[in-house]
Amino acid sequence: MKVTQAAESIGGTIVVAAAEAASREVLGGYASDLLSDVMANSREGDLWVTMQKHVNIVAVAELNGIAGIVMVNGRKPEEAAVAQAEENRIPIICTDLQAFDVAGILYGMGIRGRRPV
Amino acid sequence: MFVMDTHTHTCLSPCADLDMHPAGLVAAAICAGLDAVAVCDHNSAENVAAAQRAGLAAGVAVIPGMEITSEEEVHILALLPDAEAALSLQSRIYRELPGRNDERAFGMQVVANEHAEVLGFNERLLAGATTMTVDGVVAAIHKVDGLAIAAHIDRERFGILGQLGIIPAGLPLDALEVSPRTSLSAARTAFTPRLEYPILCGSDAHEPKDVGRAATFMFLEEPTLSEMRQALKGCAGRVILGGGRPMEDLALHILDIAQNSLEAGATLVEIDLSEDVAADRLVIEVRDNGPGMEPEALARATDPFFTTRITRRVGLGLPFLAQAARAAEGKLEIDSQRGKGTRVRATFRHSHIDRAPVGDIETTLLVLLAGNPEVEIRFRHAVGERAFELDARGIDPGAPDGLSALRQTIRQGEATLSGTVGETKLH
């Protein structure tokens, strides 16, 4: 599944890097707001579901090869995060849904959490 | 030198013990051998003024502060120049702090005076997060001329590294803080390999027994924020010397005994630290040429409530050292002759599980040498067959690079002993 399709399924808006989102394959999912935890346990190709909107989310996504960031609860990324995501071509999807519902919908579409490597 | 716990709470913090009323905190600080504490309640400074008054009465410096929770749930300590700045920052924080406290869920938030009397209860959700980003919090602290310090970075929850993975590039923090679980030297290696930020040690105490479990040792003229600011930058002779737990490591006991000698007017202090693993013995001996003690004073030297000092209410060094020695099947001996000098000798069983670690000898020596250039201080550390004798002649600690030259000399000397006993290295 592409990031764009995942975004549509949760009624999300792709606010950054729409072109990247269309081409990137989602290989799994990860949900956490502790960025240290995401660095340690997420995997390449994961769609990452989070509340955090600080610019560091882009650095963490870049580091682990995250397919895209889903920002839940109607939150919007900080300006610096948008700029950094544009530069690094990391898709950010904003949705009004909560993390629980987002994970549930994506799970229903076949996306799974994966054990860290 | 000043020993400061840069992170303590009062009963205003919902998670703190009621015994941590402003005067209780100050009393605990005295018992822990601290010269200063920073009062950093969660998102509020309403007990700061009372703590300052309690501190003034007891001779402990109280630095106003606050532990602010950012929107990302990162804890940032604000250390502030005065109570006025604390109130100004507090009004800014209150505008960005939603929610009401639920005492059953989080605990009471007691506003108290310096006489342990309850003045009222804070009804805001002090345990909650503000709506300010971490950048906004740091900017707000700087706006009132405070120091912004990332709290307990060695803890996952609410620590900046746990919450944000890495320290955001360009975030103008003045320092990082580690909790008692991490020693200063370990923290320097782990978190600031390129010395990007100075590191402080704070206890994050929520109850009296934890006050001073970690503290920062600083060379300052007086324990004020402007002096601390200089120490963080390492300018004008002010420096962060080290950190750890006062009165736990043997190195700090040595410092304390030597300071007694210096305060008594000695012009020569000889320190011997001898580790004999074969005989399973560790001996600390400190000799001075000071005025000596009267028999009556000598008899009371290990009484915790006796001291000739005027800077602290409680004489900490010798009673605590006696206790530390006894815990490791050793003993403390004091010989003192009026007009001749004093010799303090503490023995320990080297392998005893309760034998305190040697600790940060480097800091102890730097404090003694740099603080007393007119006194002759000799240091010898023997480990089995090998020994390091410090020769600090020719190094002026007051010179621009004097302190780092001294540090280098001590470090190299101590390094020649490493490998002989596993634990004698700087921790």
Is residue B424 predicted with pLDDT exceeding 60? no
Residue B161 forms contact with A (CB below 8 Å)? yes
Tell me, what's the pLDDT at B247? Answer: 59
* Residue A53 tokens, joined: 């909107």
CB burial readout A5-23, b (16+ within 10 A) else e: ebbeebebebbbbeebbee
Write the pLDDT tens digit of every residue in B368-382.
Answer: 888 888 899 999 999
**Band (B331; pLDDT cuts 50, 70, 90):** very high
Whether A60 sits inside 8 A of B165 (CB atoms) is yes
**CATH class entry, domain A3-108:** alpha beta
Write the pLDDT tens digit of every residue in B180-237.
Answer: 888 777 787 788 777 689 999 999 999 999 999 999 988 888 999 999 999 998 887 7
Write the pLDDT tens digit of every residue in B251-300.
Answer: 878 888 888 888 888 999 999 999 999 999 999 999 999 998 887 777 77
* Residue A91 tokens, joined: 């898709």
**Band (A21; pLDDT cuts 50, 70, 90):** confident
Torsion angle of alpha carbons B130, B109, B38, B51, nearest 10°? Answer: 140
* Cβ atoms of residues B214 and B244 within 8 Å: yes
- pLDDT average, residue stretch B325-342: 90
Smallest CA–CA separation between A104 and chain B, in Å? Answer: 24
**Which residue's structure tokens are 């040429």?**
B289
Q: Give percent above pLDDT 70 in chain A.
A: 99
Write the pLDDT tens digit of every residue in B165-181.
Answer: 999 989 999 999 999 88
The interaxial angle of helices B250-263 and B361-371, nearest 10 deg, is: 20
**Band (B249; pLDDT cuts 50, 70, 90):** confident
Contacts of B230 (CB under 8 A, 6+ apart): B220, B236, B238
Partners of B168 on chain A (C-beta within 8 Å) are 54-56
Fold for domain B250-415?
A: Heat Shock Protein 90 (3.30.565)
Tell me, what's the pLDDT at B302? Answer: 67
What stretch of H or E contains B228?
helix B225-233
* Residue B370 tokens, joined: 């740099």
Nearest CA in chain A to B157: A34
Whether B165 sits inside 8 A of A78 (CB atoms) is no
**CATH class entry, domain B2-244:** alpha beta
**Band (B301; pLDDT cuts 50, 70, 90):** confident
Reference B413, options B401, B395, B399, B398; nearest CA is B395
Whether A35 sits inside 8 A of B156 (CB atoms) is no
Q: Which residues pair with B389 in a beta bridge?
A: B380
Contacts of A69 (CB under 8 A, 6+ apart): A48, A50, A57, A58, A61, A85, A90, A91, A92, A93
Reference B405, options B391, B418, B389; nearest CA is B391
Write the pLDDT tens digit of every residue in A64-73.
Answer: 999 999 999 9
CA angle B49/B53/B57 to nearest 5° reads 165
Tell me, what's the pLDDT at B303? Answer: 62
All structural domains of chain B with their residue ranges: 2-244, 250-415
The interaxial angle of helices A79-88 and A56-64, nearest 10 deg, is: 30
- pLDDT average, residue stretch B124-142: 96
Residue B155 forms contact with A (CB below 8 Å)? no
Q: How many CA atoms lie within 13 A of B377 on its CB side?
A: 24
Q: Which residues pair with B3 in a beta bridge?
A: B217
Q: Give percent above pLDDT 90 in chain B.
A: 57
Tell me, what's the pLDDT at B296? Answer: 76
Write the pLDDT tens digit of every residue in A23-45.
Answer: 999 999 999 999 989 998 999 99
Smallest CA–CA separation between A53 and chain B, in Å? Answer: 8
Phi then psi for residue B62, to 5 deg, are: -115, 115
Q: Which residues pair with B112 in a beta bridge?
A: B118
All structural domains of chain A with their residue ranges: 3-108
